[in-house]
Structure 1
Amino acid sequence: MGGHARAAVFLGDGTYEVREFPIPAPPAGGAVLKVEAVGMCGSDVMQFHGQSHVPGEASPVIPGHEIVGRLIDVTPEAAANWGVAEGDRVCVDEIVKCGRCASCLAGGTGLCANLQLYGYTMGPDHDGGLWGGYGEYLRLLPNTHVMKAPDGLTAAELTVFEPLANALNWVTSVRVGPGDVVVVQGPGHQGLLCAAAALACGASQVIVTGTGADSLRLKTATALGAHEVIDIEAEDVVTRVGELTGGRMASVVMDLTPVTASVRTALDLTGMAGARIALAGLKHFTPVDGLLTDLITLKNINVQGCAGSTPGSMEQAVRLLADRPEIARTMAGTHVSLDTIEHGIALLERRAAGEDAVHVSLVHAG
């Protein structure tokens, strides 16, 4: 194909470089994607600072795992196996399993021995270098799971498919359904999409909590359909949830905050007899002080760790965006470019003076 592509390389020390790479050829049985947009995530910020949290994570790295783009060079094998053609816009699952190790052959319930993740595990010196969505092009391995994107949404809007897939996996893991009162703690883009996922699963009441600094995010929660929002700095959250639920309290609490205090609060927000708590917000390995485990026992609470998506939840997320494109439009947020990545990072770290965003997408030039 020839030519060069730009990509941002995170050096793992709070700095990055924009480098040029040759536009690659597809790997055997794979394809090349022209990346149109990639969602920026809190885990990208961790990579920016050199904090590893997935197996085999590379540093330096071209990050970016919420990837949407158009296929421009597709091998016949990929076209047949994926059901796609050149020119198709697709959403890319970042998780690539080998399909041949003991875990994969047993049904994939364990950790693939040869796991690769776009934006994480293959560095800029690995086989052409372009393995993350912060690059203008991306090599796609033959075992990649790609999904045709629905019409009517921009590439930047579609990038929420990946965190929505996480959210749908998590609400399924804690069995959200009709009759459930769901409290979502933490209205970042992942928490907001957990609220949307809970509503899609038929939750009877969805309540989203945040702080005084979360005004935009709480307004977005309401726009997504949340029944109530609570500023925990202005009201006692436990008392208010009790009032809103007629004393029933929550049957499901989803904790998406980065602070440990929310774990203790989650226990107080649950009702008796079989409530479920989903722990999905990373606390940067900080211990939870004052955790009363007797509450877990006496309330018979099921505490579920939640990380990542499944192929099924990826497919479900893309279908949901096709059926309810207003989710993606409501979450559209702010766009940056390769030349303004620092602003995107500042938004994610919540240090952009006077500005907030419910989601940040890096949009590549056409």
Structure 2
Amino acid sequence: MRHTSTSMAAVAIRNNETQIQELDLPELSVDDGLLKVEMVGMCGTDVGNYSHITRPTILGHHVVGHIEKIGELAAERWGVKEGDRVAMEEYLPCGTCEHCREGLFRACKFTDSRRGGMRYGNTALDIKPGLWGGFSQYMYLHPNAVVHKMPTHVPAAEAVFTLPLANGFEWMCLEAGVGIGKTVVVLGPGQQGMACVLAAKAAGAQVIVVGRQTSVQRLALCQRLGADAVVNTTIEDPIERIAQITGGKLADVVIDVTSGGTELVTQSFAMVKSRGLVILAAYKYAKVLEWDSDLVLSKSITVKGLRGHSYGAVEMAIQCISAGRFPISILHSHNFGLLDVDSALRTAAGTGEPNPLLVSVSPWQ
């Protein structure tokens, strides 16, 4: 199938600077493969990494593509063949530790970049064969790569939402156990917040989304995705409004997916009912200096920190997208070609084209 020996790639060579390079494709063994990248979604991790480049790196890890070439053992292990369409996980786990055996690759020490681990979109170019990111025409399939079959009828612009949506299913369904009769409050109507809306609604829960006036368009999108109510904190007191919506019962689950200040962390304790669950799912890059531990105690609140997704959550996300129940395509705001990866990253960061939400890159465009 392969008709070339090189791949064009957008390499982040230093902070906030991209250079297009032509890179050699690797010689493959029976145990690895090569992916022809179709489209790559962008997330906050890509934006953050772009401003902290220590070694040239190909970014991009929300990858959908087609198996271009694959070794015999790899094909048997993954259950795929050349030409199959797949969605990639970002993790490159060991596959044998207790966490990997549960499908919890995010907990495997070999995926922790802070400890020298490797992930797609976050591994330096000088680690051979270098094609470790989605902002490239081709991406190397490491023997430990985690792939999921993606139905061909799913539009690429929806398929690249697989990993964010997998986070939503992991946090809402697998960790929080939301379902019919439960009320969920989502703090923050960004990409991860909308993933939580979709997952909670798919499970049958009542969903309330909280955001500011600056996110009023995103709040409206949440309602189109199925949110039962939205709260604009610029003009409404969120605690009072949530009490009003729920008839004083408050929320069974409150999840904070904002990356701003810490005020919403403490507000979460007031929004959740007795014996409820508060989930912290976004880094604040700041410490919560004061919080009412007596309130947490008196209401018997469970506070849980969550990040990432499991193998099972990715499968749930693919099933949800494939079913076509929700208008996921409305989240796709911008698509760029390989030559414009810098513009794509700046747009996702809020300093490029206006009103970004789900920004993507099509390397063959």
Report the TM-score when normalising by structure 1. 0.90
Of 330-339 and 210-219, more deviation after overlay is shown by 330-339
Q: CA deviation at 1:351?
A: 2.8
Structure 2 CA distance for aligned equivalents of residues 86 and 109 of structure 1 = 25
Distance 2:216 2:236 in 1: 14
1:99 corresponds to 2:60 = no
**Distance between the aligned counterparts of 1:332 and 1:325, measured in 2?**
16
Letter aligned with residue 297 of structure 2: T
* Aligned residues with identical type, % of pairs: 34
Residues 227-238 of structure 1 correspond to what in structure 2 (within 5 A)? 227-238=228-239
Residue 215 (1) aligns with residue 216 (2): yes
1:206 equivalenced with 2:210 (yes/no): no
SS in 1 for 2:110: coil
Aligned to 1:360: 359
Matching residue of 2:60? 64
Q: Give the whole-Å Cα distance in 2 for the aligned partners of 1:296 and 1:345.
A: 39
- TM-superposed CA distance for 1:289, in Å, is 3.1
Q: Deviations over 1:178-197 (max 9, x none)?
A: 21110101111111011111
The aligned amino acid for 1:261 is E
Report if the CA contact (8 A) 2:18-2:341 is conserved: no
Q: For 2:194, which of 192, 195, 207 is the aligned residue?
A: 192
Mapped partners of 1:217, 1:26: distance in 2? 44
Determine the C-alpha separation between the residues in 2 that align with 1:295 and 1:8: 50
1:308 aligns with 2:313: no
TM-superposed deviation, 1:104: 4.6
Alpha carbons of structure 1 residues 299 and 142: separation in structure 2 relative to 1, 3 Å: same
Q: How many matched pairs?
A: 355
Alpha-carbon distance, 1:27 to partner: 4.7
Instruction: Provide the C-alpha distance between the structure 1 equivalents of 2:15 and 2:73, rounded to a whole number of angstroms.
Output: 40
Give the gaps of 5 or more residues in structure 1.
52-57
**1:300-354 Cα deviation digits (max 9, x unpaired):** 111111111111111111111111363432322211222222332233222336x
Gapped regions of structure 2 (runs ≥ 5)? 112-117
Match of 1:295 in 2: 295
Change in Cα spacing, 1:177 to 1:59, as seen in structure 2 (3 Å) is farther
Deviations 1:116-146 (A, max 9, x none): 31112x2111112101111211111123221
SS at 1:46 equivalent: helix
Sort the Cα spacing of 1:161 and 1:105 in 2 relative to 1 into closer, same or farther, 3 A.
closer
Once the two structures are TM-superposed, the CA of residue 113 in structure 1 deviates from its matched residue by 4.2
- Which AA in structure 1 matches 2:356? A
Partner of 2:154: 153
Q: Quick check: 2:185–2:208 contact (8 Å CA) kept in 1?
A: yes
Tell me what 1:337 maps to: 337
Shift of 1:63: 1.3
Q: Secondary structure at the match of 2:341?
A: helix
Aligned equivalents of 2:41 and 2:315: distance in 1?
18
- Report the Cα distance in structure 2 between the residues aligned to 1:8 and 1:307, rounded to whole angstroms: 28
Distance 1:217 1:319 in 2: 24
Q: 1:12 to 1:208 in 2, by over 3 A?
A: farther
8 Å Cα contact 2:30/2:74 also seen in 1: no
Determine whether 1:277 maps to 2:278: yes
Q: CA RMSD in A?
A: 2.1
Q: Structure 1 residues 342 and 216 mapped into 2: Cα distance closer, same or farther (>3 Å)?
A: farther
Match of 1:54 in 2: none
Q: Give, in whole Å, the separation in 2 of the partners of 1:114 and 1:268.
A: 38
Q: Give the drift of 1:8.
A: 2.0
In the TM superposition, 1:79-118 aligns within 5 A as 79-101=75-97, 104=100, 111-115=107-111, 116-118=118-120
For the 8 Å contact 1:68–1:155, the answer to whether it is kept is yes
Instruction: Please state whether the residue corresponding to 1:271 is helix, strand or coil.
Output: strand
Q: Give the partner amino acid of 1:360.
A: V
Stretch deviating more after TM superposition (275-284 or 318-327) = 318-327
User: Counterparts of 1:262 and 1:33 in 2: how far apart (Å)?
Assistant: 41
**Is contact 2:60-2:121 (8 Å) kept?**
yes
Cα deviations by residue, 1:75-107 (Å, 9 ceiling, x for unpaired): 111222212111111101111222245765798
For 2:60, the aligned partner's letter is G
Normalized against structure 2, the TM-score is what? 0.91
Matched to 1:90, the amino acid is V
d(CA) in 2 for partners of 1:164, 1:105: 22
Deviations 1:193-218 (A, max 9, x none): 11111111221x10111111112211
C-alpha distance in structure 1 between counterparts of 2:228 and 2:73, whole Å: 47
What is the CA–CA distance in structure 2 between the aligned matches of 1:107 and 1:7, rounded to whole Å? 31
